[in-house]
């Protein structure tokens, strides 16, 4: 079934100009109008094939597919998407896949069936092929957070390696040399990249990497608690720990207090994400701010660029994080 984009490509005319002809708008060059009408005829295009607004890509709905809506990182991101979508007169349709690759495929099919104008999503490597299929269909899509090394999909991402370097270097600058890491590791691209940043900061400072100081878990408080408990039971425990997600950091607090230790006098902690909980822990958590609301708004901006473009853009926007110093890290003498 032909669409306005097909007409634009056939006539080598912009989508906006095709739209003006279809809606009988004035001030279109007669030669240009003739090219468009010829393309419409050759493609056997008919607005009656679908509701006119849908054919013209004007459902004014964008999709947002998330892997886990219970992950505290996503609500703030979603809020940014909603705020920016409203500016452009769009509504947002959500779908939670619970990290299930088959459900991710179902979500795409559902949203295409609902005629959304485009989709913002966060898929892992397992469904990279699904993203490429969308691109071949020239369906507007923006990948958020995760940028595959081989992906050609427009992406909004965080420079997680630099964020990992920033967090670890902050601890080093505070005099710490025995620095632990609690991470999601290869279970999540973000955790893996932050671990690379951690190792780079150690290497740049001449501090040997010690795998015993690294614990890999999942992004939840229970996992952070278990990891911190293991680090504290080492013969020579770390004086500071970079926890690559604030929810894991919250759990690590529990393990430290259960051991009868204090933060930051006995051990310093730095988190990542600047979630709301980081301001309510005691002491307040020093962490890395990833500006999720801004990231969500920029994802909408990029998706609308994709919707308006004749060809997929393959554009990448990388956000830099900032450090928020609070009370959980102390200066060693």
Q: Express each pLDDT in 56-115 by its tens digit.
A: 446 789 999 988 888 888 888 999 999 989 888 899 999 998 888 888 888 888 888 878
101, 148, 214, 230, 314 from 195: Cα distances, Å: 25, 17, 9, 18, 27
Kindly calculate the radius of gyration of the chain based on its CA atoms and give it in whole angstroms. Answer: 24
Same domain, 201 and 268: yes
240-254 mean pLDDT: 97
Residue 44: per-residue pLDDT: 77
Q: What is the CATH number of the domain that holds 20?
A: 1.10.260.40
Higher pLDDT, 191 or 243: 243
245 in Cβ contact with 184 (< 8 Å): yes
Q: Are residues 269 and 179 in the same domain?
A: yes
Whether 332 is in a domain gets the answer no
Does pLDDT of 327 surpass 60?
yes
Those residues with Cβ within 8 angstroms of residue 80's Cβ, 6 or more apart along the chain or in another chain: 292, 293, 294, 295, 296, 297, 299, 300
More confident site: 221 or 122: 221
Same domain, yes or no: 149 and 176: no
Q: Peptide bond preceding 283: is omega within 30 degrees of 0, i.e. cis?
A: yes
Indicate whether 180 pLDDT > 60. yes
Domain contains 56 = no
Expressed as residue numbers, the domain containing 219 is 160-289
Considering Cα of 271, then 276, then 280, then 286, what sign does the dihedral take?
A: positive
171, two tokens: 């601890």
The DSSP line for 155-206 is EEEE-HHHHHHHHHHHHHHTT--SEEEEE-GGGSHHHHHHHHHHHHHHHHTT
pLDDT of residue 300: 94
Same domain, 68 and 147: yes
* Domain shared by 185 and 172, yes or no: yes
Examine residue 132 and state whether it is found in any structural domain, yes or no.
yes
**pLDDT tens digits for 101-115?**
888 888 888 888 878
Give pTM, 2 decimals: 0.78
Name the domain count of the chain.
3
In a domain, 327, yes or no: no
């Amino acid at each position: 079934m032909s669409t306005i984009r097909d007409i634009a490509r056939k006539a080598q005319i912009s989508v906006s100009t095709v739209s003006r002809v279809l809606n009988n708008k004035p001030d279109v060059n007669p030669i240009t109008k003739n090219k468009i009408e010829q393309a419409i005829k050759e493609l056997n295009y008919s607005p009656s094939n679908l509701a006119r607004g849908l054919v013209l890509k004007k459902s004014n709905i964008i999709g947002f597919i998330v892997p886990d809506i219970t992950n505290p990182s996503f609500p703030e991101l979603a809020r940014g998407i909603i705020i920016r979508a409203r500016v452009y007169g769009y509504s947002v349709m959500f779908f939670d896949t619970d990290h299930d690759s088959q459900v991710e495929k179902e979500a795409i099919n559902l949203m295409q069936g609902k005629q959304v104008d485009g989709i913002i999503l966060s898929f892992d490597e397992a469904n990279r092929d699904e993203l490429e299929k969308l691109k071949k269909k020239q369906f507007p899509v923006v990948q958020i957070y995760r940028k595959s090394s081989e992906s050609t999909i427009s992406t909004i991402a965080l420079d997680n390696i630099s964020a990992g370097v920033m967090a670890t270097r902050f601890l080093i600058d505070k005099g710490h040399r025995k620095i632990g890491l609690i991470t999601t590791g290869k279970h999540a691209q973000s955790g893996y990249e932050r671990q690379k940043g951690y190792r780079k900061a150690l290497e740049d400072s001449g501090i040997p990497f010690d795998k015993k100081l690294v614990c890999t878990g999942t992004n939840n408080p229970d996992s952070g608690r278990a990891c911190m408990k293991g680090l504290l039971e080492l013969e020579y425990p770390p004086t500071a720990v970079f926890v690559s997600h604030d929810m894991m950091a919250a759990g690590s607090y529990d393990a430290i207090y259960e051991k009868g230790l204090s933060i930051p006098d006995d051990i310093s902690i730095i988190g990542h994400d600047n979630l709301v909980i980081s301001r309510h822990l005691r002491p307040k958590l020093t962490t890395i701010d990833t500006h999720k609301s801004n990231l969500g708004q920029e994802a909408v901006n990029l998706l609308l660029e994709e919707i308006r473009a004749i060809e997929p853009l393959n554009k990448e926007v990388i956000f830099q994080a900032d450090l928020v110093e609070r009370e959980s890290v102390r200066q060693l003498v």
